[in-house]
Structure 1
Amino acid sequence: MLKRFKRYLTVGVVNTLIHWAVFLMLVYSMGSNQTFSNLMAFCVATTFGFFANAKWTFNQAHSLYRYFIYVTFLGLMAVLFGRAADVLSMPPLITTLTFSLFSLVIGFLYSNFIVFKENKR
Structure 2
Amino acid sequence: MNAIWKGFLTYALVGVANTLIHWQIFFVLRVGAGLDQSTSNFVAFCVAASFSFYVNALYTFEAKRSVPRYVLFLCVMGALSFIVGYLGDRWQLHGLLTVTAFSLVSLVIGFLLSRFVVFRGGRA
TM-score calculated relative to the size of structure 2: 0.94
Taking the aligned partners of 1:42 and 1:11, their CA distance within structure 2 comes to 14
1:102: which partner in 2?
Answer: 105
Q: Deviations over 1:52-91 (max 9, x none)?
A: 0001100000000110111110000001001111110010
Amino acid aligned to 2:45 = F
Root mean square deviation, CA, Å: 0.8
The percent identity for this pair of structures is 43
Q: What residue number does 1:39 align with? A: 42
Which ranges in structure 1 are unaligned for 5 or more consecutive residues?
none
Structure possessing the higher relative contact order (Cα contacts under 8 Å, 6 or more residues apart): 2
Tell me, yes or no, if structure 1 residue 117 matches structure 2 residue 98.
Answer: no
1:68 to 64, 68, 71: 71
Offset from partner CA, 1:23-62 (integer Å, 9 cap, x none):
0111111111101100110010000010000011000000
2:99 and 2:69 mapped to 1: Cα distance?
A: 25
Structure 2 unmatched ranges of 5 or more: none
Q: 2:17 aligns with which of 14, 17, 29?
A: 14
TM-score (norm 1): 0.96
Q: How far apart are the structure 1 equivalents of 2:70 and 2:31?
A: 30
- Runs of 4+ deviating beyond 2 Å: none
Of the candidates 50, 59, 64, which is equivalent to residue 62 of structure 2? 59
Q: Are residues 1:29 and 2:32 paired?
A: yes
